[in-house]
Structure 1
Amino acid sequence: MEAYTGFAAVYDRFMDNVPYAEWAEYVRELLEGYGIRDGLVLELGCGTGTMTELLAGYGYDMIGVDCSEEMLDAAMEKREASGHEILYLLQDMREFELYGTVRAVVSVCDSVNYILEEQELCQMFALVNNYLDPGGIFLFDFNTDYKYREILGDRTIAEDREDCAFIWDNFYDEEERINEYGLTLFIRRGAEGGPSGQGESLSGDGPFWRFQETHYQKGYTLEEIQAALQHAGMEFLGAWDADTKGEPHGASERIYAAARERGKTTEHM
């Protein structure tokens, strides 16, 4: 079953505890630290456009790319409400195409972890390098192998609210380093923010909508990320623990990384 289909209708409702504003401010600080205070910025894996909107509010000219039509529908509703001139493209981040180059590319909320093969990760990084202006900056975060193995692996997480609930079952394959999680959501019919229609991933005839989706993410080490960036022709600039903003360590769960475009070659285009 595809991810982010039925879930898209209630994604923002369940992500209301994510500190997007704090993340956006940190991304802006990093971009400005590399001299990028305006201009065209691409967000890969933009989802419902929350981060895209925040960065547009800082004055960046935003492009958002995502492979879920349903998530982009929600993003375009936000665009209509905000009036920001954001271009959204329905594309797979592993093979995205632009009409020209951009000053920076960002990707947050562990979108990179949805790329399960290292060869495809290198391919995506090479595309980023190809579509960056000379000396352009790539900022992204990723969940570490440690997080999937020690924090999420083989755990069930559940949350019960007044008119909705979710069950999140994790299964971590240590050999493949792939985390599979089955997501089941229950939303009371007629609840604010609930679905207005019925789709392939919706079921149930009672007072609740029932969603089921399966997601897969791969855990990466910082060393693997650095190697993939180098293979793609990019210059690795630095990495930071997402919680402390300090140096990454063995128990870092999420890491921010920065890289710079350093020339185009036919091998990497």
Structure 2
Amino acid sequence: MTYARFAYVYDELMQDAPYDNWLELMEKHKSEVQPSMQSILDLGCGTGTLTVELGKKGFQLIGLDNSADMLVLASEKSRDARVPIQWLEQDMREIELVEKVDTIVCFCDSLNYITSEEDVQAVFQSVSANLKEEGYFIFDVHSLFKMREIFGDHTFASAEDKTSLIWQCFWEEEEYLIEHQLTFFHQTEELLYERFDETHVQKAYEIEDLCTWLSEAGFKIASISADFEYQEPQEKSERIIITAQKREKNVSKG
């Protein structure tokens, strides 16, 4: 999914996103699981809010997104914060790094925008190819419960300082797909409101399928939790968080 004009209202509408929770998750991971972690690739980094905050913690950051508009805004943030970050406009199914990294993350349900099973498997293979041996892949997805029951066939609305949004959801049970039809009214410099529309599509995935594809890509599951509570997912969990470790290659002895 490539964001268009949405990129320029994204931060205003994401003010309540759980950035502090993601940051805490990564600090906890380094402290308890991967103390040697230094280099991080942030997949689907968007406008770079979390990427920059991780950079402020002293990690070596690469931010990757397929939206040039998002990356323009991300680059401005890192420059203003004086945090050195490499920004890459790439498809997460075909990651190309100069050097492998310690950890790869993909937060904010970015993986739900990959709407075919084959493409999710391609992402996992690409992630594995760009991770150091025994490196970690940490990501979250909207749960099937959230997509079906909370988004469902519902309509939402919000009004921020400069942008108002009407958000209609249409759920397709057979394919586990949800179509988000977004109508924005954005205040221009002339104090007029300009309307624009976008359609985004996301897909829900069963946890068991994600684990199978991770295993096929050379990972072992380190943990599965939900909603930043560090407990196993429940029936009504909304955000599933999976941590997987790249398996060490077997070294043949001869």
Contact kept? 1:34, 1:137, Cα under 8 Å? no
Name the CA distance, whole Å, in 2 between partners of 1:162 and 1:98: 39
Q: Which residue is equivalent to 1:203?
A: none
Aligned: 1:246 with 2:231: yes
Deviation at 1:38, TM superposition (A): 4.1
Select 1:259's aligned residue among 233, 244, 252. 244
Q: Which residue is equivalent to 2:166?
A: 167
After superposition, give the CA deviation of every residue in 1:201-248 in whole Å (9 maximum; x if it has no partner): xxxxx9212121111111012111111101111111111111533111
Name the CA distance, whole Å, in 2 between partners of 1:46 and 1:161: 23
TM-score (norm 1): 0.88
Contact kept? 1:36, 1:103, Cα under 8 Å? no
In the alignment, residue 212 of structure 1 is paired with which amino acid? D
Kindly report structure 1 stretches of 4+ aligned residues shifted beyond 6 Å.
none
Q: Which residue is equivalent to 1:200?
A: none
Name the CA distance, whole Å, in 1 between partners of 2:25 and 2:173: 32
SS in structure 1 at match of 2:180:
strand
- Coordinate RMSD, CA, aligned: 1.7
SS in structure 2 at match of 1:43:
strand
TM-score (norm 2): 0.93
Aligned: 1:188 with 2:187: yes
Aligned: 1:82 with 2:67: no
Identical aligned residues as a percent = 38
Between the two structures, name the one with larger relative contact order (CA 8 Å, sep ≥ 6).
1
After superposition, give the CA deviation of every residue in 1:181-216 in whole Å (9 maximum; x if it has no partner): 01111112228xxxxxxxxxxxxxx92121211111
Q: Which residue is equivalent to 1:178?
A: 177
Contact kept? 2:30, 2:37, Cα under 8 Å? no
Aligned: 1:228 with 2:228: no
Aligned: 1:209 with 2:194: yes
Name the CA distance, whole Å, in 1 between partners of 2:225 and 2:101: 24
Unaligned runs of at least 5 residues, structure 2? none
SS in structure 1 at match of 2:93:
coil
Residues 130-141 of structure 1 correspond to what in structure 2 (within 5 A)? 130-141=129-140
Q: Which residue is equivalent to 1:46?
A: 45
